[in-house]
Amino acid sequence: MKTVFVIGSGTMGRGIAQVAAQAKYEVYLSDIQLDIVKRNMDIVEAGLQRQIEKGKITKGEVGDILGRIQMVQNLENLEKADYVIEAVLEDVALKREIFKEADRKAKPEAILASNTTSCSITEIASAVAAPERVIGMHFFNPPVVMQLVELMPGILSSRRTVEKAKEFVVSLGKETVTTKKEGPAGVTSRILAGLLNEAIWVLQEGIASVEAIDRAMVLGCNHKMGPFALIDLIGVDIHFAKTQMLYKKTGDARYRPCYLLEQMMAAGLLGKKSGRGFYDYSKDPVVPTAFFDK
């Protein structure tokens, strides 16, 4: 039985761990404190419980899934892993530090993957002794639902690494898209960032409301979710960081972050995770945050 080690137990990490466990991999889910992992595993268990209530999964299957996930602190037991997936904050210095240590502990044939959407894989890989085994493996939020995983090789990623990464993703029941060369944010995140940013500028300029813009994109462009609902799901701070990075690296005005995002972050309006973003999730039904009705 192959083993997966997920570094970072937040929204993406715990989702990736669940996906791997559902595909019958043995999984280690880690974080800097065991209490953090436990809190995030409680969220996984609650989500699976809801699936039982909907009749989509049995109690026995849930027990099997949870039984395949072991909670660990830091990089304990990483040497057992065939696939190491890092899913921490988008901080390249932090990622380089993690990969440097993971490279020392992991067995030689293990694949080292990052779930990053904005950090350079080549820059991350430069911290390890074997950069050819490092690759970007971008799962989409929520990993349990979304079917695509974007593979982003660095300059030194080997063909074997790309092939093994693709085999792994397919074994999870997912589809892959592989970038031909390294570029800021890959394919989907780069295109999406521009679209979401334009929606924010349309709002900032007073052309249309939050609800009107979301409704227009859902009904007029056949999107499953409007841009503001999506930013709230991603996180206002995450979107800001991504557009800031793209603007810095490309110089393209499409990615220039809107000042409105800085105001929202200062006010704690970070999206669903904080309870309010472009929408107020304390209301039933959900409505735009009062700030946008002024």
Q: Residue 241 belongs to a domain with what CATH number? A: 1.10.1040.50
- β-bridge partners, 27: 4, 69
Do 55 and 16 lie in one domain? The reply is: yes
**Which pLDDT value is given to residue 256?**
93
Contacts of 135 by beta carbon, 8 Å cutoff, 6+ apart: 111, 112, 113, 114, 121, 151, 152, 153, 154, 157, 161, 162, 165
- Which strands make up the sheet holding 148-153, listed edge to edge? 69-73, 26-31, 3-7, 83-86, 111-114, 134-139, 148-153, 175-178
pLDDT digits (tens, 9 = 90+) for 175-231: 999 999 998 889 999 999 999 999 999 999 999 999 999 999 999 999 999 999 999
- β-bridge partners, 114: 86, 136
pLDDT digits (tens, 9 = 90+) for 236-274: 999 999 999 999 999 999 999 999 999 999 999 999 999
3-class SS at 154?
A: coil
CA torsion, ordered 61, 66, 69, 70, to nearest 10 deg? -140
Position 293 pLDDT exceeds 70: no
Is position 183 within any domain? no
Do 58 and 143 lie in one domain? The reply is: yes
Distance CA 178, CA 25 (A): 23
Omega before residue 257 within 30° of 0, cis: no
- Among the candidates 128, 144, 178, a domain finishes at 178
Mean pLDDT along residues 10-21: 97
Position 294 pLDDT exceeds 80: no
Mean pLDDT along residues 29-44: 98
Query: How many other C-beta atoms can be found within 10 angstroms of the C-beta atom of residue 17?
Result: 32
Total count of domains within the chain: 2
Do 165 and 253 lie in one domain? The reply is: no
Q: How confident is the model at residue 291 (pLDDT cuts 50, 70, 90)?
A: confident
Range of the domain at 106: 3-178
Mean pLDDT along residues 48-70: 97
Helix-strand-coil percent breakdown of the chain, rounded to 5? Answer: 50, 15, 35
pLDDT digits (tens, 9 = 90+) for 109-132: 999 999 998 899 999 999 999 999
Place of tokens 């466990």: 21
pLDDT digits (tens, 9 = 90+) for 132-170: 999 999 999 899 999 999 999 999 999 999 999 999 999
Do 216 and 282 lie in one domain? The reply is: yes
- Among the candidates 119, 150, 178, a domain finishes at 178
CA torsion, ordered 276, 200, 266, 188, to nearest 10 deg? 80
- Among the candidates 178, 202, 222, a domain finishes at 178
Do 168 and 225 lie in one domain? The reply is: no
